[in-house]
Structure 1
Amino acid sequence: MVSPPVLLLFILCSCYYIAHGGDDEHRSSVTLEPRRATVSVPLVHRHGPRGPSRNSDKPSFTERLRRSHARANYMMSRASHVMVSAREDDANVSIPTHLGGSVDSLEYVVTVGLGTPAVPQVLLMDTGSDVSWVQCAPCNSTRCYPQNDPLLDSTKSSTYAPIACDTGACRKLAGDHYQNGCTGGGTQCGYAVEYGDGSKTRGVYSDETLTLAPGVTVKDFHFGCGRDQRGDNDRYDGLVGPRFSLPSLVVQTSSVYGGAFSYCLPARNSEAGFLSLGAPPGAANATGFAFTPMRRLPGVATFYMVTLAGISVGGEELDVPPSAFRGGMIIDSGTVVTGLPHTAYNALQAAFRKAMAANPLRPNGDLDTCYNFTGYSNVTVPKVAFTFSGGATVDLDVPSGVLLEDCLAFHESGPDVGLGIIGNVNQRTLEVLYDAGRGKVGFRAGAC
């Protein structure tokens, strides 16, 4: 049997700071070890042996796909219009806005340190979010969900400070249409994030020292100190959001790492991948990487997009016209299966079924090309490869990057004129490098 799925990961970078000049109050100070150009953090599956939810019941296959489809639908609608809402108030904290977020299909976590002295925090990594947050004390059981670690106590840190309302950092968080970045007459800047699945977090927007690795700290890191969380969260301490906008981790550290980052999602949830800030050695010269131009969706700066030019199955290129890919493909670590436009998906499904004709299909209500491998000691899965604009060709890992629960990890996303999404299953074992400074996305095989 093929190993069970590894849902999500991580992270999108931003060149908002680079392109817009930034703001002194959003420019964090990064302290590095001598001659250290990049920093990497282990990335593990939430339900794996080293994850915070290892002893919890993980969602069913159907539930994970439901969340993935909901996330993909949200992102499609987000591409059409930016979802911003404002509601609720707080007597002590001014809430500038509800920042639209993605659906919670998050599954990969990293461990960082927060505060002085540094306290370990296990955080979900979400490419669809920009505001990072943790649960903070005081917070009772009706306001915060259970987590394995103690709640972060800001009174025990010598570097914690709430951000004031009348500051550039708060105004940037709120947007230009909120007076001074605050509402309700409070003195502390508040944050409130409501995700597409209805879960939410709110609290005080704050400054703190973030420790990424021994000797690597980010001073004056802006994050949310959450005191009111609602939704189906499970055992982790918070979230780190590096989406393509302020105030993400990648934006706040762009003066050091240049707006570049990479990650690798492991093939199995018992293994560890990594998240790295900064371009890896040799990437500038394309050593080991296949690069394609980074594409922007006009009016929406929050997604990384590429142009798919072709697909092959078993070394044979599919007969799909370029027009079938003209909508572009969003790369997302939180969406599970890849959504292809109608013509491309039908061609892929037909070619894959033909190559797998010796194996019996089985019914499945979630995906339409699933197999029964019971009694088969050897199963040959055909290689699937993507070709991107510029000629970059990337072989997906076999079988972990092609099959999910013995099902083809693709579905139809809609008509050819629409967007597609490259999900996290197809990204397994690849190092995916987002180099905003050079305007390209790179792929390196066998990285984790």
Structure 2
Amino acid sequence: MDTSEPVLGSTQFQSGEDLGEEVVLCMASRPQDIGVPMEVALVPAAPTAICAYKVVSTHQFCCTGHWTMATLLSMASPLLFLMLCLCSRYSMAHGVNEPSFVVVSTSSFEPEAECSISTIQENLDTSNATVTVPLVHLHGPCAPSHSTEQKPSFTEILRRNRARVEYFRSKVSRSTPMRLQDDDEKVSVPTHLGSYVNSFEYVVTVGIGTPAVPQVVVVDTGSDLSWVQCAPCSSSQCSPQKDPLFNPTRSSSYSSIPCSSGECKQLAADDYGGGCSNGGKCGFAIEYADGTSTTGVYSTETLTLARGVVVKGFHFGCGHDKRAVPGKYDGLLGLGHLPESLAMKYGGAFSYCLPALNSRPGFLSLGAGRNIPSGFQFTPMGSIPTDPTFYMVTLIGIAVGGKRLNIQPQAFRGGMIVDSGSVVTGLQSTAYQALRSAFRNAMGQYPLLPHGRLDTCFNFAGQKNVIVPKVSLIFSGGATIDLNVPNGIMLDGCLAFAMSGPDDNPGFLGNVNQRTYEVLFDTSHRKVGFRANAC
């Protein structure tokens, strides 16, 4: 490359001149392609650089950062320096495509041990009746029940995720129970009601009753009926929990729902009914795909979401018999699309934002559709006739490294369920194979690890920094989400996607891909919105 001609309309600088502003370092090709270590392109003052390909006459590789020419001269090899040019950020933004590769530190894949100070506070916007509460990862350091107890392994997380996804598939299709052949075991997936309870990831703290009893509950868009464990409940009937059991006899606002009521009939119609007690109380029963079950009395109570923010007449299951392994949560907050859901009782609109790191809080907002802030991209909301619990969207395209993949629209015909409880995203066969191939090619400088529960994992041993391509998901209506890099694309060094089944099966937008986006479910206007960098 002739360095006498500035590339991409850049300004040339004299040796030793202090640039003093963010600039873009451009090379004729990727550093690893010419045998130059990536660290040469990085400066200690700017450990993370944003990179992009741009085809001019050759492939250009650019990295933004704050540099001085003297620093560049001191760190660059003669071979590399002959291929360098400097161009302003203005040129990058106006003359080149948006950055499509990101250089990240491998330390970003490691979990953080301490909770960052929360910037998400309980909040009530009285102008539009929106309430916002902190949302944290169940196994992260910000969890209210955080302890030194062993967290589930990466393998166990993926096993639970796969069982949840396969259960959803069977529920949607109303098929017979499926058996999956894993690498090391078979997973039975019965067609019971309820999702896979041990796959839940995010929790909020609410108050039940008057006076309010604090309860840590997992949030789930794949469930409708909320529930908590209630006294009386013996140790053989209920799982140990951190918080005291809610005792309905000590609450002045508790009421059981009678069997003759319309609510009880609706509960039975939605397959949550558990019959009637001798006292005429409406029963509920849920059996989850992992064998967990809870039964008890369908009830109403006062739910405290934040200081001074209560929901009177909150419908929930007061469970007196729960069969499950001990968990770090006390119950479940159902946010599905059926009438029993809290979301439907609270205006039919809600949103949440899942943080990029488990050491930070996100948020859950109820009533979020009444006064929508700017910055959202929307896609139409669909539903599944056989199971209207789920929120469906239509994926129409995928881009990797700034380039849209050649995937025909019919490859996405199964639709996609937006799910807070699934970890990795499940794509239909054709789309997944195209994504996997493109991502592996873009990450070709790093060796692949042997196949496990995810088939695209990389060996980053000895690497301080790695180059990760941006991945974008394109939905009908034009909504496009650029996944957070790296924590919205990769999980423990693996591509956080898997194959969900044939092209006519539903896909699943997992919670890893949703990180840092506020995801808004507006059932009144039948749309799902995405707002970037919300938490």
TM-score for both structures, normalised by structure 2 = 0.72
Q: What is the rounded CA distance, in whole Å, between the counterparts of 2:267 and 2:451 in structure 1? A: 44
Counterpart secondary structure, 1:70: helix
Q: What is the rounded CA distance, in whole Å, between the counterparts of 2:531 and 2:127 in structure 1? A: 24
Q: Match for 1:221 among 307, 314, 320?
A: 314
Q: What is the rounded CA distance, in whole Å, between the counterparts of 2:484 and 2:381 in structure 1? A: 22
Q: Match for 2:350 among 261, 265, 272?
A: 261
Q: What is the rounded CA distance, in whole Å, between the counterparts of 2:136 and 2:448 in structure 1? A: 32
Alignment partner of 1:143 is 2:237: yes
Q: Match for 1:271 among 357, 360, 382?
A: 360
**CA-CA distance at 1:184 after TM superposition:** 6.0
Over 3 Å counting, the alpha-carbon distance change for 1:177 and 1:201 in structure 2 is: closer
Q: What is the rounded CA distance, in whole Å, between the counterparts of 1:350 and 1:415 in structure 2? A: 18
Q: Would the aligned equivalents of 2:380 and 2:476 in 1 still touch at CA under 8 Å? A: yes
Q: Counterpart of 1:22?
A: none
Alignment of 1:407-426 (within 5 A): 407-426=494-513
Q: What is the rounded CA distance, in whole Å, between the counterparts of 1:351 and 1:377 in structure 2? A: 23
Over 3 Å counting, the alpha-carbon distance change for 1:416 and 1:111 in structure 2 is: same
**CA-CA distance at 1:3 after TM superposition:** 2.8
**CA-CA distance at 1:281 after TM superposition:** 7.3
Q: Would the aligned equivalents of 2:274 and 2:285 in 1 still touch at CA under 8 Å? A: no
Alignment partner of 1:3 is 2:3: no
Q: Would the aligned equivalents of 2:274 and 2:284 in 1 still touch at CA under 8 Å? A: no
Q: Match for 1:190 among 262, 276, 283?
A: 283
Q: Counterpart of 2:462?
A: 375
Q: Match for 1:158 among 241, 245, 252?
A: 252
- Which protein has greater RCO, CA pairs closer than 8 Å, 6+ apart? 1
Q: What is the rounded CA distance, in whole Å, between the counterparts of 1:106 and 1:403 in structure 2? A: 19
Q: What is the rounded CA distance, in whole Å, between the counterparts of 1:154 and 1:99 in structure 2? A: 28
Between stretches 309-318 and 357-366, larger displacement belongs to: 357-366
Q: What is the rounded CA distance, in whole Å, between the counterparts of 1:164 and 1:360 in structure 2? A: 62
Alignment partner of 1:37 is 2:129: yes
**CA-CA distance at 1:397 after TM superposition:** 0.4
**CA-CA distance at 1:33 after TM superposition:** 7.5
AA of the residue aligned to 2:315:
H
Alignment partner of 1:129 is 2:223: yes
Q: What is the rounded CA distance, in whole Å, between the counterparts of 2:168 and 2:352 in structure 1? A: 21
* CA deviations over 1:287-311 (Å, ceiling 9, x no partner): 2011111122233311111111110
Counterpart secondary structure, 2:207: strand
How many positions carry a matched residue from both structures?
403
Over 3 Å counting, the alpha-carbon distance change for 1:387 and 1:33 in structure 2 is: closer
Q: Counterpart of 1:171?
A: 265
Q: Counterpart of 1:341?
A: 428
Q: Would the aligned equivalents of 2:286 and 2:294 in 1 still touch at CA under 8 Å? A: yes
Q: Match for 2:515 among 387, 407, 428?
A: 428
* CA deviations over 1:7-60 (Å, ceiling 9, x no partner): xxxxxxxxxxxxxxxxxxxxxxxxx88435211111111112232253321111
Q: Counterpart of 1:27?
A: none
* CA deviations over 1:411-448 (Å, ceiling 9, x no partner): 11122222211111111111111111111111111111
Q: What is the rounded CA distance, in whole Å, between the counterparts of 1:208 and 1:349 in structure 2? A: 48
AA of the residue aligned to 1:264:
C
Q: Would the aligned equivalents of 1:342 and 1:412 in 2 still touch at CA under 8 Å? A: yes
Over 3 Å counting, the alpha-carbon distance change for 1:386 and 1:267 in structure 2 is: same
**CA-CA distance at 1:246 after TM superposition:** 2.3
Q: Counterpart of 1:242?
A: 335
Between stretches 238-247 and 272-281, larger displacement belongs to: 272-281
**CA-CA distance at 1:175 after TM superposition:** 2.0
Q: What is the rounded CA distance, in whole Å, between the counterparts of 1:332 and 1:239 in structure 2? A: 15
Identity of aligned residues (%): 59
Q: Which runs of 5+ in 1 are unaligned?
A: 7-31, 84-97
Q: Counterpart of 1:49?
A: 141
Q: Match for 2:169 among 53, 67, 76?
A: 76
Q: Counterpart of 1:61?
A: 154
Counterpart secondary structure, 1:72: helix
Q: Which runs of 5+ in 2 are unaligned?
A: 1-105, 113-123, 177-190
Q: Would the aligned equivalents of 1:166 and 1:181 in 2 still touch at CA under 8 Å? A: no
AA of the residue aligned to 2:362:
G
Q: Which segments of structure 1 move beyond 6 Å, counting only runs of 4 or more?
A: none
Q: Would the aligned equivalents of 1:103 and 1:196 in 2 still touch at CA under 8 Å? A: yes
Q: CA RMSD in A?
A: 2.3
**CA-CA distance at 1:171 after TM superposition:** 1.6
Q: Would the aligned equivalents of 1:136 and 1:226 in 2 still touch at CA under 8 Å? A: yes
* CA deviations over 1:323-352 (Å, ceiling 9, x no partner): 111111111111111111111111111111
Alignment partner of 1:110 is 2:199: no
TM-score for both structures, normalised by structure 1 = 0.85
